[in-house]
Structure 1
Amino acid sequence: MNVLNVAEKPMVARTVATILSRNQNMRMREGRSRYNKIFEFNYTIRGQPCHMIFTSVTGHLMELEFDDRYRKWHSCDPADLFRAPVHKFVPEDKKDIKRTLEEEARRCQWLILWLDCDVEGENIAYEVIDVCTAVNPHLTIKRAWFSTLIDRDIHNAAQNDLRDPDKRVADAVDVRQEIDLRIGASFTRFQTMLMKDAFIIDTATDDRNRVLSYGPCQFPTLGFVVERFWEIQAHEPEEFWSIICSHESKEGTAEFSWMRGRLFDYTCAVIIYEMCVEEPTATVTNIRQQEKPKYPPFPLNTIELQKRASRYFRMSSDHTMKVAEELYQAGFISYPRTETDSFSPGTDLHTIVQEQQGHPEWGIYAQRLMDPEAGLWRNPRGGGHDDKAHPPIYPTKFSTGESGWSQDHRKLYELVVRHFLACVSKPALGAETTVEINIAGELFSACGRVILEKNYLDVYRYESWGGSMIPTYTNGQQFNPTKLTLESGVTRPPPLLSEADLLSYMDREEAKIGTDATMQDHIKKMLDRSYATKDSSTRFTPTNLGEALVLGYDDIDMTYKLWKPDLRSEMEKKMDDVKKGDKSKAEVLVTILQKMEACFLEVSMACLCYMAEF
């Protein structure tokens, strides 16, 4: 039996073919595309001898586009793009890949799809299916399900986890592609031509910065950045006053915090302060001592990987995913696009730890984890998210660093390993003492902490838990504070959004923007379009152009604020309905596009009325 196997990328095809053939008697030959080689070898699937033919695509095989008569900017009213015919086609640079698939599919009985096991991979699977079944409608079609490019996982996929492709998931991606094309093209053409007419922008040039692009995910992403910027601009500093109290003894110094925190009324603050000065004796009213744990992080999913790489290494989310993808393709980490932050009960966590015992930096810690007498092991907590497709991100191969790795490869691999080791460790344990005192009826408190057991903090060097000793006190003890002053301060605005902050905003349940695999793309587009800048601390500032665009839409009195996440979040929920099979592709397309067309007409009418006044 001849079996055509198709991977999503050339390197994955080579890796999987090498694993399945055990690197024995595998023959490589050229395909129609010089980049997409063909590998042949014999293999047995569930007792059935197979001649395996293994090749690849390079991401999406097809593109979605308007029919020719609608593709030029001035060919139609932008509003017509909500209803204009669209079609999927294989672009010229992918035609050779298509020819290879057609030629190989003609002589095969089975088609096994080794595409990435996510929603985009499912959509690409159906692009490959369409090409192959057009020349051979009798193919038996299966989808290999895997999360790592290691021998055990790949052989298990071939023998035990060949599934039927899921058309519902592919349809959900089709919905996203079509609404993004129609909404993006109509709004981009409208606002660019409007600005061109008003400010003499030349759209005939090839300078992409002159195109004022609109994306239904990109624009709400910019909205988060602008909204925080406006919060900062609108902030008016307000003066406040606090009573500062400290006490020095032979054992050290205790800094007591005023329980009121701060007062914005100067007169009230002065009256209370003078009462304390007149009766400065402090009486200890309560002492609380308790052991307090600091828990290790949940297992690592995509968004958390991006956020932590941004915080710890100042690495952009886009670059993080590029490096993570390379580590995955080389077999060093599991699939990096996952929403799951809980390990299933059947995961062999101990084997993953054992593989790290020889590492010069964290190997001794891994050995302690495996030692029952050390008592360091604790089964990982679950974060409550499971995409039903992939496990959390974890190391799949031991390495002390490869010759071809950059510093970012080393940092990201180390983060994945240390994060995994921390997940299966006991929490850190501290002894906290809280002392409350009374001065003239005003309450103050001081807190001290002693670290009893560092546990996971020994390996997870990205986090700390400071300890601070305070003197020993007894209930009823009295003393005079060493320092008792009234000090003023001013309120400060919130900081600009960092990349980690922005990812958190985009990932909120009530304001979901994009998917875990695409959020970094929306941030990159916002920067590429010069709608915002990012400083060395990974904080975003909107450009004048970016702020002006959001302000322009904000000034329009309409049903939905297009720069807010609400409408896109609503769309994401409807696309999930398609994925679950609760609604059809056609039904959701009609609902979303009708709503967006109404928004477009509101915007265009408002803008045309505004322009007519000048």
Structure 2
Amino acid sequence: MSGTINVLNVAEKPSVAKSVSSILSRSPNPHSREGRSRYNRIFEFNYSIRGQPCHMIFTSVTGHLMEIEFEERFRKWHSCDPVDLYQAPVCKYVPEEKNDIKRTLEEEARKCQWLVLWLDCDREGENIAFEVIDVCRAVNHHLVIRRARFSALIDREIHHAAQNLVEPNQLFADAVDARQEIDLRIGASFTRFQTMLLRDKFNIDFSADDKNLVLSYGPCQFPTLGFVVERYWEINSHEPEEFWTINCSHKSDEGMATFNWMRGHLFDYTCVVIIYEMCVQEPTATVKNVRQAEKLKYPPHPLSTIELEKRASRYFRMSSEHTMKVAEDLYQAGFISYPRTETDCFSSRTDLHIIVQEQQRHPEWGSYAQRLLDAGAGLWRNPTGGGHDDKAHPPIHPTKFSAGEPRWSQDHCRLYELVVRHFLACVSQPAVGAETTVEIDIAGELFSASGRVILTRNYLDVYRFESWGGSMIPSYVVGQQFIPTTLTLDSGVTRPPQLLSEADLLTCMDKAGIGTDATMHDHIKKLLDRFYATKDQNTRFCPTSLGEALVMGYDNMGYELWKPNLRSMMEFDMKEVSVGNKSKHEVLTTCLQQMKACFLDARLNKIKLLEAMEVFFERSNRSTGDEHHTAGEVVRSCGLCQEADMVLRRSRDGNFMVGCLGFPQCRNAVWLPGSILEAAVTRNICSSCSPGFL
């Protein structure tokens, strides 16, 4: 192609558009102008892609450009039976608040020959890329479409991406489309069902305006709640049981050793007393075995998103949502690599030494980085992976040196430090320790004591978040005998597990395949926002009465909607779509058929939800004062909302009507002719017509 071509470049966020433009134009402040959207500026500069002169026009979106929604006639809650939402037509459209961004893309696309997509390189980013393609292709069918793939906002990554453009991945976008449609249909149907069934029947007093209270159901949110409730039930059902154990210690000139009974503990008090008395009568201890071994404590695997969230929660008590926000800030500023990755192993093509070299100037860990690069020190070790690779991004690692930026908060500093120290640790040798285990015999009962000495700290020198406990014990030789300093019979009680911490909850979700590395923190936040669970200062989760009641209701139905199994299968199917093993249509059909059957069963057994709510909440006496809520004789259940009864009433003007008790949510009503002077409900059914009109 001869001459200069116009290239429209689109990033996922305005800050990324500016960063990439600065790198490609080699200017900290490239020329820019306003677009239709005041937040999404347009940068312009010249650049050469594989020898082709290009005039680069660089703008951005703000996350998803489009939303998926039901067609207009199905959007109102009482416009249809909720079960119809499993087949109701859906569409993707640009919402009104993003029309200015759409118009910018259309105007710029008309005058360009190429469209280069700089969206985040995960499935969600790929889906947004195809949203941009749809808008731009609608006004310019001749656009050449290309994709830039990068993992860090640093010079070498961005220039490499620009010179090695690829095709966008339709399969990734299809997987997200499938997930969005499944979540919309399932979420809307169950949310409407349980909200209309429960909201006005019970006093649920946590919303300032409970007319707007929505009892939402999410296919990921609900199994996440299930983990919290299940642990809470496990704690409440625990019955403490007393046990007994025998302990002894021995003090010598070299120090103290505490020996633990190798039976652990027993629940039979009489049995333990007999054994203890035998030991007291013949207290001489004989050393039966002394084992000495070298032990290694290995550094952590390279850092994935889930591991970053878990460690930030454990070390700093940062919520997963806040961790991802801070990590995103660090990424957009060019200090760490892309923070949404399932990968915990580095490619052999990655030059890890360059990453370490960047950190040599740091006042705290710079000297450690220098030791790593010193071949004579023998500290370097090629990192071992954890076996996960999303084929999109490397593990999270530092991309640029910083000793702390002026605008960074304490959390930005701490998270950056964690990423750097974690990376330096994973390319280091394991810590080396010498462990000694001594076994003794007292009256036929075996006891053991262990001691450890750290010989070489290695990675522990930089990874201050971990320690390797242990202490020295006196020297013993086989056959040695001594009288214990103490020999005691001690009691204890079994204890329940603790409430799930945020790190525990993330682990549960990860193992069960609930959500993705980019969405897990959102599902946890929704539990708190919906008041289905609370989180204490130790980041431990406890279900609210509402959260527990909902899980109990579905559990009593006999369905495991609150268990992770169904969602795990869906997430697996989504991955199958992304690699081409299943089609989007196939996955949609299978998942929705399965969940529609669950929905119909749940509705048939709705009494179980009502009964569960009654355990925690009082019945509501609320009334709107409207004639629809005055007492009346029940005619039949409502055929529209299928949640409330249709009753015969007389309005203020004296006319009769049959209306739904679910008013104002359900407005199903039949007005009888004004000429009718009296009306009553009878059990007699006309043989010639059907009562189905109600």
TM-score by length of 1: 0.97
Is 2:486 aligned against 1:462? no
Could you say what secondary structure the match of 1:366 adopts? helix
Residue 127 of structure 1 corresponds to 131
CA contact (8 A) 1:209 1:530 kept: no
Residue 596 of structure 2 corresponds to 597
Residue 584 of structure 1 corresponds to 583
Which stretch of structure 1 is more off in the superposition, 104-113 or 194-203?
Answer: 194-203
For the structure 1 residues 49 and 137, does the alpha-carbon distance in structure 2 shift closer, same or farther, using more than 3 Å as the test? same
Residue 503 of structure 1 corresponds to 506
Residue 393 of structure 1 corresponds to 396
For the structure 1 residues 487 and 453, does the alpha-carbon distance in structure 2 shift closer, same or farther, using more than 3 Å as the test? same
Q: 2:163 aligns with which of 122, 139, 159?
A: 159
Once the two structures are TM-superposed, the CA of residue 95 in structure 1 deviates from its matched residue by 0.2
Counterpart code for 2:510: D
Where do 1:538-557 residues align within 5 Å? 538-557=539-558
CA contact (8 A) 1:506 1:514 kept: yes
CA contact (8 A) 2:44 2:57 kept: yes
Residue 524 of structure 1 corresponds to 525
Counterpart code for 1:176: R
For the structure 1 residues 447 and 209, does the alpha-carbon distance in structure 2 shift closer, same or farther, using more than 3 Å as the test? farther
Is 2:376 aligned against 1:373? yes
Residue 172 of structure 1 corresponds to 175
Q: Distance in 1 between matches of 2:386 and 2:211?
A: 42
For the structure 1 residues 548 and 24, does the alpha-carbon distance in structure 2 shift closer, same or farther, using more than 3 Å as the test? closer
Residue 79 of structure 1 corresponds to 83
Q: Distance in 2 between matches of 1:118 and 1:500?
A: 23
Could you say what secondary structure the match of 1:293 adopts? strand
Is 2:420 aligned against 1:439? no
Is 2:370 aligned against 1:360? no
Could you say what secondary structure the match of 1:254 adopts? strand
CA contact (8 A) 2:300 2:425 kept: yes
For the structure 1 residues 205 and 375, does the alpha-carbon distance in structure 2 shift closer, same or farther, using more than 3 Å as the test? closer
Residue 316 of structure 2 corresponds to 313
Once the two structures are TM-superposed, the CA of residue 207 in structure 1 deviates from its matched residue by 5.1
For the structure 1 residues 414 and 453, does the alpha-carbon distance in structure 2 shift closer, same or farther, using more than 3 Å as the test? same
For the structure 1 residues 24 and 297, does the alpha-carbon distance in structure 2 shift closer, same or farther, using more than 3 Å as the test? closer
For the structure 1 residues 201 and 377, does the alpha-carbon distance in structure 2 shift closer, same or farther, using more than 3 Å as the test? closer
CA contact (8 A) 1:209 1:529 kept: no
Residue 147 of structure 2 corresponds to 143
Could you say what secondary structure the match of 1:328 adopts? helix
Could you tell me which runs of 5 or more consecutive residues in structure 1 were left unpaired when the two chains were aligned.
Answer: none
For the structure 1 residues 492 and 208, does the alpha-carbon distance in structure 2 shift closer, same or farther, using more than 3 Å as the test? farther
Could you say what secondary structure the match of 2:199 adopts? helix
Residue 625 of structure 2 corresponds to none
CA contact (8 A) 1:292 1:429 kept: yes
CA contact (8 A) 1:19 1:154 kept: yes
Q: 1:96 aligns with which of 97, 100, 110?
A: 100
Q: Distance in 1 between matches of 2:132 and 2:96?
A: 16
CA contact (8 A) 1:303 1:339 kept: yes
Which stretch of structure 1 is more off in the superposition, 249-258 or 188-197?
Answer: 188-197
Could you tell me which runs of 5 or more consecutive residues in structure 2 were left unpaired when the two chains were aligned.
Answer: 611-636, 638-643, 646-694
Could you say what secondary structure the match of 1:474 adopts? coil
Once the two structures are TM-superposed, the CA of residue 278 in structure 1 deviates from its matched residue by 1.0
Could you say what secondary structure the match of 1:538 adopts? coil
Counterpart code for 1:148: A
Q: Distance in 2 between matches of 1:135 and 1:261?
A: 75
Counterpart code for 2:134: D
Q: CA RMSD in A?
A: 1.7
Q: 2:288 aligns with which of 285, 288, 296?
A: 285
Q: Distance in 1 between matches of 2:151 and 2:267?
A: 56
Could you say what secondary structure the match of 1:135 adopts? coil
Is 2:62 aligned against 1:58? yes
Could you say what secondary structure the match of 1:475 adopts? coil
CA contact (8 A) 2:302 2:383 kept: yes
CA contact (8 A) 1:571 1:592 kept: yes
Once the two structures are TM-superposed, the CA of residue 397 in structure 1 deviates from its matched residue by 0.6
CA contact (8 A) 2:187 2:217 kept: yes
Q: Distance in 1 between matches of 2:517 and 2:206?
A: 33
Residue 322 of structure 1 corresponds to 325
Once the two structures are TM-superposed, the CA of residue 609 in structure 1 deviates from its matched residue by 8.3
Is 2:242 aligned against 1:239? yes
Q: Distance in 2 between matches of 1:599 and 1:450?
A: 58
Once the two structures are TM-superposed, the CA of residue 608 in structure 1 deviates from its matched residue by 5.3
Q: Distance in 1 between matches of 2:104 and 2:127?
A: 19
Which stretch of structure 1 is more off in the superposition, 146-155 or 17-26?
Answer: 17-26
In the alignment of these two chains, the number of paired residues is 609
Once the two structures are TM-superposed, the CA of residue 73 in structure 1 deviates from its matched residue by 1.1
Deviation track 1:19-56 (CA, whole Å, cap 9, x = no partner) reads 00111893201101000000111100001001100000
TM-score by length of 2: 0.86
For the structure 1 residues 202 and 62, does the alpha-carbon distance in structure 2 shift closer, same or farther, using more than 3 Å as the test? farther
Q: Distance in 1 between matches of 2:51 and 2:92?
A: 39
Q: Distance in 1 between matches of 2:210 and 2:391?
A: 43
Q: 1:225 aligns with which of 221, 228, 231?
A: 228
Once the two structures are TM-superposed, the CA of residue 373 in structure 1 deviates from its matched residue by 1.7
Q: 1:67 aligns with which of 66, 71, 79?
A: 71
Counterpart code for 1:418: R
Q: Distance in 2 between matches of 1:229 and 1:222?
A: 11
Q: Distance in 2 between matches of 1:61 and 1:198?
A: 39
Q: Distance in 2 between matches of 1:24 and 1:364?
A: 31
Counterpart code for 1:409: H
Q: Distance in 2 between matches of 1:293 and 1:301?
A: 23
Once the two structures are TM-superposed, the CA of residue 5 in structure 1 deviates from its matched residue by 0.3
Q: 1:211 aligns with which of 209, 214, 225?
A: 214
For the structure 1 residues 198 and 485, does the alpha-carbon distance in structure 2 shift closer, same or farther, using more than 3 Å as the test? same
Once the two structures are TM-superposed, the CA of residue 371 in structure 1 deviates from its matched residue by 1.2
Once the two structures are TM-superposed, the CA of residue 557 in structure 1 deviates from its matched residue by 2.6
Is 2:38 aligned against 1:34? yes
CA contact (8 A) 1:25 1:41 kept: no
Residue 332 of structure 1 corresponds to 335
Once the two structures are TM-superposed, the CA of residue 504 in structure 1 deviates from its matched residue by 0.3
CA contact (8 A) 1:203 1:211 kept: no
Q: Distance in 1 between matches of 2:412 and 2:206?
A: 40
Residue 114 of structure 2 corresponds to 110
Q: Distance in 1 between matches of 2:182 and 2:416?
A: 37
Q: Distance in 2 between matches of 1:610 and 1:209?
A: 20
Once the two structures are TM-superposed, the CA of residue 198 in structure 1 deviates from its matched residue by 2.4
Residue 185 of structure 2 corresponds to 182
Residue 514 of structure 2 corresponds to 513
Deviation track 1:433-483 (CA, whole Å, cap 9, x = no partner) reads 000001111101000111100110000000001230100101100001011
Identity of aligned residues (%): 76
Q: Distance in 1 between matches of 2:211 and 2:532?
A: 13
Question: Which has the larger Rg?
Answer: 2
Once the two structures are TM-superposed, the CA of residue 545 in structure 1 deviates from its matched residue by 0.7
Q: Distance in 2 between matches of 1:491 and 1:25?
A: 65
For the structure 1 residues 202 and 92, does the alpha-carbon distance in structure 2 shift closer, same or farther, using more than 3 Å as the test? farther
CA contact (8 A) 1:30 1:38 kept: yes
Higher helix fraction (1 or 2): 1
For the structure 1 residues 181 and 339, does the alpha-carbon distance in structure 2 shift closer, same or farther, using more than 3 Å as the test? same
Counterpart code for 2:294: E
Could you say what secondary structure the match of 1:425 adopts? coil
Where do 1:337-356 residues align within 5 Å? 337-356=340-359
Deviation track 1:487-509 (CA, whole Å, cap 9, x = no partner) reads 1000000000000000000000x
Once the two structures are TM-superposed, the CA of residue 79 in structure 1 deviates from its matched residue by 0.9
Once the two structures are TM-superposed, the CA of residue 237 in structure 1 deviates from its matched residue by 0.2
CA contact (8 A) 1:254 1:470 kept: yes
CA contact (8 A) 2:304 2:341 kept: yes
CA contact (8 A) 2:242 2:267 kept: yes
